[in-house]
Amino acid sequence: MSPPTSPPTSSPPAPQPPTSSPSIPQPSTSPPTSSPPTSQQPTSPPPTAQPPPTSPSPTVQPPTSSPTSPPPSPDAGQKLRVGYYIGKCARYVDVEAIVRKHVSQADAGIKAGLIRLFFHDCFVRGCGASVLLDPTTANPQPEKLGVPNFPSLRGFEVIDAAKAELEAACPGTVSCADIVAFAARDASSLLSRDRVGFAVPAGRYDGTVSLAGETIPNLPPPFADAARLERMFAAKGLDAADMVALSGAHSVGRSHCSSFSGRLAPPGSNASGSDMDPVLAARLKAACAASANNNSTDGTVAQDYRTPDELDSQYYRNVLDRKVLFASDAALNAAGTASLVRFFANVPWAWQFRFGEAMVKMGRVEVKTAANGEIRKACRLVNSKAGSREHGMPASSSNFAIIL
Ligand code: HEM
């Protein structure tokens, strides 16, 4: 198999002014009077999940089996339940505690990767763990090899380890999609020192279709302007306020230089390549040049220059100060979203609460049920193909990345 291409390197198009103004709820500085973050139930209306675009990119080889699956049930996301796994196993197993144990053993970078994994899973064919499927002979180009995912997406091994322990303790019961959702929640609370805490409704099934060609049409690129971001979130039933709240995840983790190099001035030039703070831009340029000199073709830098391993509202301060990496981050300063950015920058607990709400809402996108999904035995392979060399065995016997 030929290696997939690296993250997008094309220069960003000139930002366009937003074409619509989002409906941002009126910021209030009083704390929520209803359920606290740790036991919160979603209060937002159900997302109107849309079917994802079906046209794969021309570079993607279609799988030999049909990519179609039974039609999604539109209200499946609303039927998820907090505490779903209580009493589901033959003996007592604390499913969520097992996931949390594995997440807590990961380093801060992998924890950040787990938050992003959930986003990338939910935005492509819904929260059905399709992002976890490895390439096989039948499907050599699954989602995880799509340009936005490879090679930057990380955290897969944590999901594998949690799934292995759960399969041993409670076989055939806990979906990979739910493990991804629990892991993202646990990573959020661990990286925020428990300031972000929310209950995760569960009961998702795992999807059986995964296509690299569906990643670019569904995942917003880092050069997206405000209007494009809003459109792509709206396609998943998420509004502009959800989008602003979720973007706070960019207060942790890293980015490859190729994801923002279009915003830096060209080498040797003192001119600014964007509205990025010039001091930050110079620092990023130096860091990326240093990694290039170290034979790393695409270096990485922290997303939050100030508190890189803390999931906090510093991100919004960075947006206001123009000290963010992506045009998509800077785009939140657009007229329609700027007031919410200021609010979250000034009232950290409001963002912590709203981030949890938006994560729960995102977790309801295009959820699979028993009618159109399965509980995978191993998160990297669909069951129906497991054990068949023709259809199901991974293209590599151990880690697919080795052969790429
Ligand atoms: C608003 C549109 C978004 C865009 C355009 C975007 C784009 C990106 C890009 C380009 C990276 C760097 C990848 C790399 O080069 O290594 C990244 C990292 C990350 N994103 Fe986003 N993202 C968006 C929204 C989100 C959302 C909604 C979440 C989660 C709720 C999220 C969580 C993260 C995290 C945690 C990282 C760091 C991952 C790591 O360190 O492995 N992003 N994002």
Hey, which residues are catalytic here? 120
User: What class is the 48-56+75-253+303-399 domain?
Assistant: mainly alpha
For 28-67, letters b (16+ CB in 10 Å) and e give: eeeeeeeeebeebebebeebebeebeeebeeebeebeeeb
Please work out whether the CB of residue 152 comes within 6 Å of at least one atom of ligand 1: yes
Cα separation of 180 and 365, whole Å?
14
- What's the distance, Cα to Cα, between the start and end of the chain in Å? 7
Residue whose CB lies within 8 A of the most ligand 1 atoms, among 10, 119, 225, 244, for a mutation test: 119
Ligand 1 in reach of 120 Cβ (< 6 A): no
Mean pLDDT for each 10-residue chunk of the chain (404 residues)?
A: 35 33 45 38 33 33 45 84 97 98 98 99 98 97 98 98 98 98 99 98 98 98 98 98 98 97 77 85 94 82 97 98 98 97 98 98 98 97 63 39 31
Nearest CA to ligand 1 atom 20: 116
387 CA to centre of ligand 1 in angstroms: 34
Q: Which residue has its alpha carbon closest to ligand 1 atom 30? A: 246
40, 354 Cβ separation under 8 angstroms? no
pLDDT of 389 reads 36
The predicted structure's pLDDT at residue 69:
56
Q: Which residues are annotated as a binding site?
A: 121, 124, 126, 130, 143, 220, 250, 304, 307, 312
Q: Is 161 in the pocket of ligand 1 (CB under 6 A)?
A: no
For residue 303, report the distance from its CA to the centre of ligand 1, in Å: 9
Q: Is the CB of 111 under 6 A from ligand 1?
A: no
The per-residue pLDDT for 17 is: 30
232 CB within 6 A, ligand 1: no
pLDDT of residue 189: 98
Asked whether 210 lines ligand 1 (CB < 6 A), one says no
358 vs 43, 169, 203, 255, CA distance in Å? 10, 31, 18, 23
Q: Please state the domain extents for the chain.
A: 48-56+75-253+303-399
Q: Whose CA is nearest to atom 33 of ligand 1?
A: 116
Ligand 1 contact, 116 CB (< 6 A): yes
From 103, 116, 284, mutation site for ligand 1 pocket: most ligand atoms within 8 A of C-beta: 116
> What integer pLDDT is reported at residue 74 of this predicted model?
75
Rounded to the nearest angstrom, the distance between the alpha carbon of 245 and the centre of ligand 1 is 13
If phi over 0 gives left and psi between -120 and 50 gives alpha, with beta otherwise, what is residue 171? beta
Give whole-number Cα distances, 118 to 70, 127, 354, 386, in Å: 23, 7, 17, 24
